[in-house]
Structure 1
Amino acid sequence: MSRIPMTVRGEQLLRDELQRLKTVDRPRIIAAIAEAREHGDLKENAEYHAAREQQGFCEGRIKEIEAKLSNAQIIDVSKLPNTGKVIFGTTVELFNIANDAAVTYCIVGDDEADLKVGKISVNSPIARALIGKEEGEVVVVQTPNGAVEYEVSGVEHIV
């Protein structure tokens, strides 16, 4: 199975979620199932079926997180040499040549990606186009709306 790149912070967030699922959510759901069973006939007991469905989602998420953590390749960006090139974990400032707009992205693992806060997945088209580039280089990114040209205006090794 392939390794899943992940920052130290991303690993910690997954471990925190796993801990919450196992120690808070799972016992709460088990208690809800037990309470629903006390109400009698399980065939027509909506509370019981809803709790069982929640249990399925919870157990599925636990297995998913455990699998990701077992295949994770934890990359501590602070220990990587600053080569000036765009690599996993770097923060990149881009200048859109067509509309003079500046954007900043941090390249992180799939689970950490959140465009609202400027974190993009290492597997996204823009991140794949940026990997290995240096400040001052022009990058052409293929988007659904056509090719977009960006100039790399800054590269920092902070997450």
Structure 2
Amino acid sequence: MKRTPLTVRGAERLKAELKKLKTEDRPRVVNAIAEAREHGDLKENAEYHAAREEQGLIEARIKDIEAKLSTAEIIDVTKVNAQGKVIFGATVDVYDEASDSEVTYQIVGEDEADIKEGLLSVNSPIARALIGKEEGDECEVETPGGLRRYEIVEVRYQ
């Protein structure tokens, strides 16, 4: 079975979403289905069909999260001795030559990635280029916008 890397924060977020789906969303939609059934003919009952569709989406998301958590390898970067190297979970400040600016990324699991939040998928070209490097190292990354050069300014494990 393939293990999926997940940060501690990412695992906590998934567990919180799962709890909400099971304790709030699922009961709410079950009540909505029961209420819609009371309105009579189900063939032309839009509320019933909408609630059933929502129930299907909730159940699918619950299964998805449970599957992810069952294969997750939760990595606490604060407990790993990476000796200054960029590893999964590390937060990295890099200088981007093309934009002449400093950018901060945290290397996270595929499901946690959100580039707007600076959460970079471990499978992305930038993350793959940074992993294993340390402060002061440079790397080049082929991006859709062309070749980018980065210099690692700082590596943190938080």
Q: Where does structure 1 differ by over 4 angstroms across 4 or more consecutive aligned residues?
A: none
Give the Å deviation of 1:9: 1.3
* Equivalent residue pairs, number: 158
Q: Could you say which residue in structure 2 is the equivalent of 1:143?
A: 143
Normalized against structure 1, the TM-score is what? 0.96
TM-score, structure 2 normalization: 0.96
- Please state how far the C-alpha of 1:114 moved relative to its aligned partner: 1.8
Whole-angstrom CA distance in 1 between matches of 2:90 and 2:23: 34
Tell me the C-alpha RMSD between the 2 structures: 1.0
- Cα deviation for residue 46 of structure 1 reads 0.4
State the alpha-carbon separation in 2 of the partners of residues 157 and 88 from structure 1.
10
3-state DSSP of counterpart to 2:17 = helix
- In the TM superposition, 1:74-89 aligns within 5 A as 74-89=74-89
Shift of 1:2: 1.4
Question: After superposition, what is the alpha-carbon deviation per residue over 1:72-95, rounded to whole angstroms, capped at 9, x for unaligned?
Answer: 001011110141110001111111
Q: Equivalent residues in 2 for 1:107-122 (5 A)? A: 107-122=107-122
Q: Which consecutive residues of structure 2, in runs of 5 or more, have no partner in the other structure?
A: none
Distance 1:100 1:22 in 2: 47
**Structure 1 equivalent of residue 125 of structure 2:** 125
Identity %: 65
Structure 1, unmatched stretches of 5+, are none
| Cα offsets for 1:2-51 (capped at 9, x unmatched) | 11100111111111111110111000000000000011111110000000
* CA–CA distance in structure 2, aligned partners of residues 145 and 114 of structure 1: 19
Code of the residue aligned with 1:126 in structure 2: it is I
